[in-house]
Amino acid sequence: MRLMQEEMIEEEREVESSSGCGSIVELGFHERSKKVVVVGYALTSKKIKSFLQPKFEGLARNKGIFFVAIDQTRPLSDQGPFDIVLHKLSGKEWQQILEDYRLTHPEFTVLDPPDAIQHVHNRQSMLQDVAALDFSDAYGTVGVPKQLVIEKDPSSISNAVKKAGLSLPLVSKPLVAKSHELSLAYDEYSLEKLEPPLVLQEFVNHGGVLFKVYIVGDAIKVVRRFSLPDVSKRELSRSVGVFRLPRVSSAAQSADNADLDPCIGELPPRALLERLARELRRRLGLHLFNLDMIREHGTKNRFYVIDINYFPGYGKVPEYEHIFTDFLLNLAKSKYKKRSTSIP
């Protein structure tokens, strides 16, 4: 399969070379040449299966985009050349591999920088940029729930919660965002049953509906998911213990076609999402991520971001194939234009 891909790409490059325009980078997007964008990917087998679906690969190939698997045991310079490297990796070793490749291929684009990915893998730092925005405009406000990081010693959690002024119930999440396990703690005496390192986040009643805001460059797509039901004061007073929760944003929990109260199911204003996404792209240094947002129940325009995920499950998003291929083509075109203007 990989050999066939390389042969097809080589054939496309030969067509371009025969036009007298030179390499793919020099060719750019000349009107008379065939556009070819080579995207190297370093993804898990699970991500490859969900993301590189046949329909997507077929559409991409028809638009001149070729996906090539990266062998992480070999130098990138022995593979490619790549116009774009698409990955979901972090760590100093991988970052050094990318930096070494950039020395000889300064024109390539990496989606996204490993250090920026690492920033959103840690739930202590993940929402700092949202909080720092202090976002408010005519369409609403966007904040983050009060939260507390517990790195060790479960017996100290109760006092730490009181000191921080957090209100029950509390959602417990692993400190490292690679795990999606959640728990809901109803009373302070059960907090010591939790297993640090973790983040405790105040639970905000939101009508049982979550908005997943998928961001691909400048493009935004929003889908509804059923979430945790509201917790009444009466229920809180009568409930004790820590309850492990299912992954509430799974594809099976889609609420897009549900008959919802408009006060609960109405999507956040488009203008608000566009401005929020633009600010977070700049602050986070990422092109590919999604926000888990909720609307505080009983309000029209008070929203909270409760999680950020890098390179989420785009395969679940309607029409993601077109969104992603347009993004890759625009990214390559923008890169070529910048290169062209820099040539004297």
- The reported pLDDT for the residue numbered 20 is 33
Tokens of 54: 């046949």
Interval 203-227: pLDDT, tens? 999 999 999 999 999 999 999 999 9
Neighbours of 170 (CB within 10 A): 27
- The reported pLDDT for the residue numbered 34 is 54
Buried b (16+ CB within 10 A) or exposed e, 295-328: bbeeeebbbbbbbbbbbbbbbbbeebbebbbebb
Tokens of 279: 């600010």
Q: Max alpha carbon distance in the chain (Å)?
A: 77
Tokens of 36: 């070819």
Tokens of 174: 């692993």
Cis peptide before 112 (omega within 30 of 0): yes
Tokens of 158: 């109760």
- The reported pLDDT for the residue numbered 6 is 52
Enclosing H/E stretch for 114: helix 114-121
DSSP code of residue 226 = E
Q: Which of 19, 61, 3, 2 is nearest to 36 (CA)?
A: 61
Which of 14-23, 150-159, 308-317 has the weakest average pLDDT?
Answer: 14-23
Interval 36-81: pLDDT, tens? 999 999 999 999 999 999 999 999 999 999 999 999 888 898 997 9
The reply to whether the predicted model has a pTM over 0.85 is yes
Average pLDDT, the chain: 86
Identify the residue with better confidence: 237 or 4.
Answer: 237
- Rounded CA separation 211/256 (Å): 10
- Rounded CA separation 119/174 (Å): 15
* Single-letter code of the amino acid located at 243: F
- Rounded CA separation 166/160 (Å): 9
Interval 282-306: pLDDT, tens? 999 999 999 999 999 999 999 999 9
- The reported pLDDT for the residue numbered 25 is 37
Q: What are phi and psi of 319, to 5 degrees?
A: 65, 25
Band (pLDDT 50/70/90 cuts) for residue 241 is very high
Share of the chain above pLDDT 90, in %: 71
> Residue with structure tokens 């956040």?
268
